[in-house]
């Protein structure tokens, strides 16, 4: 199955802590997390999860990249979200 532009729910852009972010360089853009509204709404409409649960999942996953967390670490965090 070929991916399309609506498959991406979120994106972390920048240099995470696991990759030496503590070395701030002049002229570097700040780290950013992007949430893609249309794909998130499409996903929400097709699944039984609440919109809040979908957004929490995407945020935990993208911020997890910043901290260098594994998929298992992120899954553990998600189970702790009320």
Using CB atoms within 10 Å of the CB of residue 29, give its burial: 0 to 12 exposed, 13 to 18 middle, 19+ buried.
Answer: exposed
Q: What share of the chain is helix, strand, coil (3-state, %, to 5)?
A: 50, 10, 40
> 71-80 and 51-67 helices cross at what angle (nearest 10)?
140
Confidence (pLDDT) at 37: 95
Tens-digit pLDDT profile for residues 29-63 = 888 999 999 999 999 999 999 999 999 999 999 99
Q: Measured between alpha carbons, how far is 62 from 28 in angstroms, rounded to an integer? A: 19
Query: How much is the pTM?
Result: 0.77
Work out the percent of the chain whose per-residue pLDDT is above 90: 44
């Amino acid at each position: 199955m070929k991916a399309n532009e609506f498959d991406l729910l979120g994106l972390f852009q920048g240099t995470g802590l696991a990759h030496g972010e503590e070395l701030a360089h002049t002229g570097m853009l700040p780290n950013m997390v992007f949430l893609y509204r249309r794909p998130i709404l499409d996903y929400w409409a097709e699944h039984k999860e609440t919109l809040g649960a979908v957004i929490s999942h995407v945020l935990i996953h993208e911020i997890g990249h910043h901290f260098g967390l594994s998929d298992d670490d992120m899954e553990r965090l998600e189970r702790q979200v009320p």
